[in-house]
Chains A and B, each alone.
Chain A
Amino acid sequence: MKLVIGGYAQGKLAFVLEHYGADRCRVWDGVLPKEADAGMEMVVIDHFHNWVKGCMLGGGCPEAEVGEFLKNFPDCVIISDEIGNGIVPVEAFERQYREQTGRILVELAGKAEEVVRVICGIGQKIK
């Protein structure tokens, strides 16, 4: 698994398609596919943070669901916004969303064979 993180509107998806090959990738926007849904292409999860938020709002357990997903797709690319570098929000859910997303990203980064941070369209390989 490869993890690509960076701020909003930094060109993360364009970076992934360019560097990992657009023709080899199938992009899932804020959705984790089930095993049967995927084809031969490499699974790219765009807006992973939106999926985490949706999962939390639906009462699910994002950690467990991601773990399951990774068993089915060990060679995927996960793209997430960096959402933790702002003022801590007043709303409890927004706080929890940032905290939990951050923790999940730390865990994914630990497991990933490669972690890239994208800023101004430039990829920095940080692992």
Chain B
Amino acid sequence: MVLVIGGSGSGKSLWAEGYVASFPGQKYYLATMHIYDEETRGRIERHRRQRSGKGFFTIEQPVDIRLAADKINLYQERTESYRHGKGVALLECIGSLAANEMFGGQEPAAEEAVVEKIVSGIASLKEELKNLVIVSNNVFEDGKVYDDTTMAYIRAMGWINERLAAMADQVVEVVAGIPVILKEEPGGNVPCTF
């Protein structure tokens, strides 16, 4: 499992797509964004064009990420792609998945519940795959103190990132399109020698 983190417009998606496309076998794109308006429609379109021709089968999973495993298994049955072994998936992204889980109901969900649901969902999903690449967002460095709900959302993202990073074999920060390795198994964290 690989966690890819970066800022807005850092090129993290493009890097992650290229990385996943380099694997043999069936590739899945786990899309988490709801279409709300023209802006999200445009963003989704841009990502679709960016992915086209790279051989991804797209699965829409804006909430309940665990359920993506069932859809993957169903697709593998239908196309008999299981013959070639497990596939590789790109999950994009934790920011919108966490927002959908937290703000999808009448009242915002508790941050602990959001963290637990997403982390455990991903833990079971990754068992169905040869590799899972997850894109997450660096939303932690602007120093702003937002309203309580937004701070709870940012904390939930922080926790999810931390737990996924601990689970991951590799953690990559994309800066201006350049991958900086934060963790690489085996051997622990490459740049840091504690």
- Contact residues of A with B, CB < 8 Å? 6-11, 19, 49, 81-87, 89, 97-98, 101, 116, 119-126
Contacts and interface: CB of A to CB of B under 8 A. Distances in A.
A122 B189 contact: yes
Interface in B147-168: 154-155, 157-159, 161-162, 164-166
Nearest to A50: B145
B76 interface: no
Contacts, number: 85
Given A9-B154, A9-B159, A122 B142 contact: no
Given A85-B7, A123-B189, A124-B191, A11 B142 contact: no
15 contacts: A7-B138, A8-B155, A9-B155, A9-B159, A10-B140, A85-B7, A86-B142, A87-B142, A119-B5, A120-B5, A120-B164, A122-B189, A123-B189, A124-B182, A124-B192
B106 interface: no
Interface residues of B, number: 30
A10 B162 CA distance: 7
A9 B140 contact: yes
Contacts of A122: 165, 171, 182-183, 189, 192
B173 interface: yes
A84 B7 CA distance: 13
B193 A125 contact: yes
A89 B155 contact: no
Interface of B: 3, 5, 7, 136, 138-144, 154-155, 157-159, 161-162, 164-166, 171, 173, 182-183, 189, 191-194
B144 A86 contact: yes
B143 A98 contact: yes
A104 B93 CA distance: 35
B86 to A, nearest CB: 25
Nearest to A116: B192
A83 B165 CA distance: 22
A49 B143 contact: yes
A9 B7 contact: no
A116 B182 CA distance: 12
A116 to B, nearest CB: 7
A116 B191 CA distance: 10
B141 A8 contact: yes
Contact of B158 (A8, A87, A101, A124): A8
A38 to B, nearest CB: 25
A101 to B, nearest CB: 8
Given A10-B140, A19-B194, A86-B143, 12 more contacts: A7-B158, A9-B158, A9-B159, A10-B161, A11-B162, A82-B141, A84-B141, A120-B182, A121-B165, A122-B165, A123-B194, A124-B182
